[in-house]
Structure 1
Amino acid sequence: MQIRDLPHTDPGDPDVRSGFRFLVWLFRRQLGGQIKAMCWGTLHMAAVAVLPVTMGMAIEAVVDDSGRRLALTGLLMLGITVVMAFADTMLHRSAVTNWITAAARVQQILARRTAELGGVLTRRVAAGEVVKVSTGDVEKIGWFVESFSRFAAAVVVTLAVCTGLIVYEPQLGLLVLGGITAVALSAWPLLPAATRRADRERGKSGRATELASDTVAGLRVLRGIGGEELFLNRYRRASQEVRAASVHNARMWSLIDAVQVVMPGLLLIAVVWQGARLALDGRLTAGELVTIYGAVSFLMFPLRLFQEAAMAFTFSRPSAKRAVRVLGLRREVPDAAPTTALDQPLSGDVWDPATGLLAPAGRLTAVVCGNPNVAERLAERLGGHPVHDDGEPSAQLGGVPLNEVPLAAARAAVLVQDKDPVLLSGTLRELLAVPASGRVAAGDALRTAQCHDVLTALAQASTDGSGDPMRSRITERGRSLSGGQRQRLALARSLIADPEVLVLDEPTSAVDSHTEARIAEGLRALRSGTTTVVFTSSPLLLDRADRVVFVHDGAVAASGPHRELLRTTPEYRAVVTREPEPAQLAEETA
């Protein structure tokens, strides 16, 4: 696969039983590229290994005073140099392609899993860990995939050179083979400790990243309560722990580097001493001695590749374990209900068997819950997003349980807007470019959500001088906007999508009463004829709903018009008007 073919059509289903098995699965998916890189690497190192032979031939030609042999040897060296340069270029291209395609594969799988989990992801895994996996860990995993092919080529050429030395001069060849084995294994006992230190460093780095993201996200609140210094001190302590762990880790790798310098040096001294003895005994000529010295010096090059491969594997294992922890997450679907094939899009009444909530098709239904946790779980079930495996039955749309249809179909039919919606960075036009039915224009949605002041502010903040609010950029998570502005833009985005069923969780909790009244009127008019469920306790929204449902103690306690429920249901009146319930009032009076 070439880089221009990215993204992958199908990144595959990874083996997430362990970090090592994930690396093996990734290697198998890249097998073609690995073989290609290994072949180019073998050709390149073989060309480098042959150069000492030609140098020995050149010396022998000079000793024999043969100009013709010297010229032919020079041409041979020139040809080997051209092959070596070309093979090195192709090796680099193939290795980098393996690195990038492997990293892209992991990122695609991570993005797919994130989309499947939705809001469940951050409830099970810290945000800093997810950021670490999608950035640094992906790079480390790609590094291992890239280095393995060069490591395999180094092994092949090293064995070939050692075999040739044994055949040519058994005593010297066995000495070189034993020394190479000792050098390659000298760092092996140190790798477990290096792995533990690298894992500890990455854990502390992930924690520091999480603290930094939390501090930036809550900076406005921190300034309001004067807590900036407290959180900055926490981050300073976390960053110092990362520094100490990094120094501790670097010491181990310095020791490994020192071993990798000392051991080859000792091997080279032993070969020089043994070769000199053989030359003095007349068993080696000057050219043969130079050839052997050159071959042993060449072997220092693959030994460095052995060390690089060991480092890549050591650093990639903790990264693979962290990636597996994220990629191994699954949605908990009760009873593993079978998937139902759909002949046509979902439509009809919305019914939740757990609470008895019924939202008629084409109507605006308001839901009032005295318990915010019950409201949150109910909104999740209405969206077909089972979060807890506690035996709760799935919500139904048109009589079809949402957990029995493909997740994509459920999400296309039902859109749930959380009480704290997220705005992605980019221009306003990009923010509102969502999959939609096409029946609701962006202007109508923005007017319904009362975004005129937001558009004015964005137009004034335009950096290109056009004054077009649709081309103005919105910062990450919309932090440059107020809470009410973010909430109204998110509402406009949901209205543009125009799903069959729109579920809004407290869509006007951050706006003033006058704006809330206008939003309520516009929402009723724009969503006329489509199913809308609004979780709210605002009288302004409740008074404009076609039907109000009151959920008390986890079940529907009453339903009807807002004003009627105020008169007939004391518990409902207590939630909406913020008055104490009758039992609580009697107890306080007593």
Structure 2
Amino acid sequence: MDQTPTMTALRRLLPYLKPVRGRLIVSGVAVLCSMICGLTIPLVLQQILDGPVARKETGPLPWLIIAVAVLGAVEALMFYVRRKLVAGPSTLIEARMRADIFAHLQRLPISFHDRWQSGQLLSRAVSDLSTLRRFIAFAGIFLIVNTLTLALGLAVLFFLAPVLGVITLICAAPLVFISTQYESKYATLTRRSQDQVGDLATVVEESVLGIRVLKAFGRGPHLAKRFAAQARELRGTELAKIRLLALLWGAIIMLPELGIAAQLLFGSLGVANGSLTVGTLVAGVTVATYLRWPTDSIGWLLAETNQAATAAARYWEVRDAEVTITDPLRPEELPADGVGAVRFEGVRFAHAGSDREILSGVDIDLRPGETVALVGSTGSGKSTLTMLVPRLADVTGGRVTVDGVDVRDLRLADLRSVVAMAFEEPVLFSASVRENVALGAEDVTDEQVREALRVAQAEEFVDRLPWGLDTRIGEEGLSLSGGQRQRLALARAVVGKPKVLVLDDPLSALDVHTEAEVERALRSVLSTVTALVVAHRPSTVRLADRVALLDEGRIAAIGTHEQLLKTSAAYRDQLSTLDDEPAEVAS
């Protein structure tokens, strides 16, 4: 059992237990002391029945009764101590593990997040860690303590009367075999259930984020049917778990009852023929009854252990994911007098495990302070190229340099302090306007935030919000218009005054009037930085000093807008497909 992958995953939690293992050990000792007190009470009861009661001597009786009361009080106190000691460490471990998985998710490359559903990640960071906390606080301790209690209880029974111990052992032994048989089946069902919970979480999240689309197309009932089908699958899995546990619990409850019945039978015969005293029989049956909880709990505790082991395995699936974009071992420094020159030298890129190259030898030289627009058909690799500058992805061939230094030789913090990016789909968080804009740089003042908002032509609409900079915008910024979200994303990109600005179609969600205002503001920004801009509109092209035409992962033409109109038929064809005005007008 211990060699299974899930149990290995559970053992990997030991480093998290190390800082608090002292308190956990004391907690376990407290429970064991409680159990010992409980097992000692039947021995005192034997002395009462075979002593003062049998001999009709009341003198020692009060002291024996006091001993039972003291043992009961100590038993209760030890349970309280366990609860008190284990609550802090178990929640601390949960918090540390949750912080670690969150930090790891931030370090993982974009390609990882493209493959994983957000609901699956959410279930691992929330529900699975809650399962592990419950195991650490309760099931893990009691699995050890109850096993020791069973062994100690059997020893007490053999001490009282070997026949009573043999009967209990014969009835308890099959439980180990039965529990082992059910363990692997329950583990499989548990893993299936936890994965299905992740799938359900994904559907709920997507339906909330996409509520406007669902309502607009009347597809809410369709998604509701899909959710209901997945919920039924989860219900079926949970019912299968319950059926399995029901069979296990049936055996767990029946066998100890048979043992107690057999003890009464053989014990009564022993009392009748004088081989057992009444006190010994009562003490033996009391011990066997006391062992009901440790015996009954074994199956449940093993099921909880399996569930925790599966949760641990799911946790480590994420934690073991490789962080491919990291700081170099010997990082280089950017020149102190750096001016933001960017070069793409023979850049190639393909997704991991794919033979198809998205970029096939791209060469572009962005001079300091120059703005280069990227145009090309869908799938030509424009967005991929922009992701290589801030190292959201790494080249698979060639290199990208900033001020002559390969971006892979720079600390990520250093690189991203001089390179800022705004995406085509602006992502905002459930936070204030100030906090969303200030994400673009560290230690940003309110005046810097306002300056960035002015650049992005966003200050006016922000001041009209109920609490200005302190207004909390809804999840994903859906309470704002598309143009407002895009302007806040632009403000975030420029707030840190980067030397290099990468913009992935920054004007796509703006109306004509707002676009003209943002263009004017961007012109002043672009004159002070080196910029790479993905352009889907001729109006965006006009912001650039030069234009690069990307076709099937290669630079097909590069030059000024006017030069390419005259010399490149492919550029004219591409420009004619852009969405806001004909190429002739754009020129």
Structure 2 CA distance for aligned equivalents of residues 550 and 321 of structure 1: 47
User: Could you report, residue by residue, the CA deviation over 1:21-76 in whole angstroms, capped at 9, with x for unpaired residues?
Assistant: 22101034314154233222212222222222223333333333444422222332
Aligned to 2:71: 80
Tell me what 2:531 maps to.
532
Aligned match of 2:442 in 436, 440, 456?
Answer: 436
Task: Pick from 414, 424, 432 the counterpart of residue 429 of structure 2.
Answer: 424
Task: Write the letter of the residue equivalent to 2:159.
Answer: V
Distance 1:576 1:19, change over 3 A: farther
Query: How far did 1:88 drift?
Result: 0.8
* SS in structure 2 at match of 1:426: coil
By how many angstroms is 1:91 displaced? 1.2
Q: Counterpart in 1 of 2:163?
A: 171
Instruction: Report the equivalent of 2:583.
Output: none
Aligned to 2:233: 241
Quick check: 1:510 aligned with 2:515? no
Letter in 1 for 2:212: R
Secondary structure at the aligned position of 2:398 is classed as coil
2:327 and 2:411 in contact (8 A); partners too:
no
> Is residue 294 from structure 1 mapped to residue 294 from structure 2 by the alignment?
no
Give the superposition deviation at 1:302. Answer: 1.4
| Residue in structure 1 matched with residue 544 of structure 2 by the alignment | 545
Q: Check 1:410–1:488 CA distance in 2 against 1; reply closer, same or farther (3 A cut).
A: same
Distance 1:186 1:509, change over 3 A: same
1:470 maps to what in 2?
469
Indicate the residue corresponding to 2:273 in structure 1. Answer: 281
Aligned-partner SS, 1:420 = coil
Query: Residues 540 and 167 (structure 1 numbering): CA distance in 2 closer, same or farther, change over 3 Å?
Result: same
SS of match in other structure, 1:395: strand
Q: Is the 8 A contact 1:37 1:150 kept in 2?
A: no
Distance in structure 1 (CA, Å) of the matches to 2:335 and 2:167? 75
Alignment of 1:340-489 (within 5 A): 340-343=330-333, 347=338, 348-353=340-345, 354=347, 355-386=362-393, 391-434=396-439, 435-436=441-442, 438=444, 441-452=448-459, 454-455=461-462, 458-459=465-466, 468-489=467-488
User: Is the aligned partner of 1:38 residue 2:45?
Assistant: no
In the TM superposition, residue 452 of structure 1 has moved relative to its aligned partner by: 4.5
Query: CA 1:357 to 1:186, structure 2 compared with 1: closer, same or farther past 3 Å?
Result: same
Contact in 2 for aligned 1:551/1:557 (Cα 8 Å): yes
Question: RMSD between aligned alpha carbons?
Answer: 2.9
1:223 aligns with 2:215: yes
Render the CA deviation track for 1:434-454: whole Å, top value 9, x for unaligned. Answer: 243648711121222222564
Deviations 1:140-161 (A, max 9, x none): 2223333212211222222122
Cα deviation per residue 1:229-262 (whole Å; 9 max; x = unaligned)? 2222222222222222222322222222222211
Report 1:16-415 matches (<5 A). 18-31=5-18, 32=21, 33-59=23-49, 60-146=51-137, 147-332=139-324, 339-343=329-333, 347=338, 348-353=340-345, 354=347, 355-386=362-393, 391-415=396-420
Q: 1:71 to 1:252 in 2, by over 3 A?
A: same
Structure 1: 5+ residue stretches without partners: 1-16, 460-467, 581-590
How far apart are the structure 2 equivalents of 1:283 and 1:202? 55
Kept in 2, the 8 Å contact 1:524–1:545? The answer is no
What stretches of structure 2 of length at least 5 have no aligned partner? 348-361, 580-587
The one-letter amino acid of 1:576's match is L
Letter in 2 for 1:91: R
Q: Secondary structure at the match of 2:509?
A: coil
What secondary structure, in the 3-state scheme, does the structure 2 residue paired with 1:474 have?
Answer: coil
Residues 559, 90 of structure 1: alpha-carbon distance in 2 compared, 3 angstrom cutoff: same
Deviation at 1:511, TM superposition (A): 0.7
**Displacement after TM superposition at 1:189 (Å):** 1.5
Question: Kindly tell me: are residues 529 and 256 of structure 1, through their superposed partners in 2, closer, same or farther at Cα, counting changes over 3 Å?
Answer: same
Residues 512-559 of structure 1 show CA distances to partners (whole Å, capped at 9, x for unaligned) of: 122122212212324653333222233333323344333334233444
Moved more, 106-115 or 198-207: 198-207
- 1:290-317 residue CA offsets vs partner (Å, 9 max, x unmatched): 2212211111121243233212122223
Q: Is the 8 A contact 1:339 1:406 kept in 2?
A: no
Change (3 A) 1:432 1:44: farther
CA distance in 2, matches of 1:18, 1:520: 57
The normalised TM-score by structure 1 is 0.85
CA displacement, residues 173-200 of structure 1 (integer Å, 9 cap, x when unaligned): 2322332222343332122222222333
Q: Distance in 2 between matches of 1:398 and 1:135?
A: 43
Indicate if the aligned counterparts of 1:26 and 1:102 stay in contact, CA closer than 8 A: no
SS of residue matched to 2:547: strand
C-alpha contact (below 8 Å) 1:384/1:395 kept by paired residues: no
CA contact (8 A) 2:334 2:410 kept: no
CA distance in 1, matches of 2:379, 2:464: 33
Alpha-carbon offset, residue 98 of structure 1 = 4.1
**Distance in 2 between residues matched to 1:86 and 1:495, nearest whole Å:** 62
Match of 1:6 in 2: none
Residues 301/548 of structure 1: CA separation in 2 closer, same or farther (3 Å cut): same
Report which stretch shifted further, 322-331 or 348-357.
322-331
Whether contact under 8 Å (1:195, 1:315) holds in the other structure is: yes
Match of 2:483, as an amino acid?
A: G
Q: What's the TM-score once normalised by structure 2's chain length?
A: 0.86
Query: 2:45 & 2:394 partners in 1: Cα distance?
Result: 70
Offset at 1:320? 2.8
Instruction: State the Cα distance separating 1:500 from its structure 2 match.
Output: 4.1
Quote the residue 1:555 is aligned against. Answer: 554
SS of 2:113's equivalent in the other structure is helix
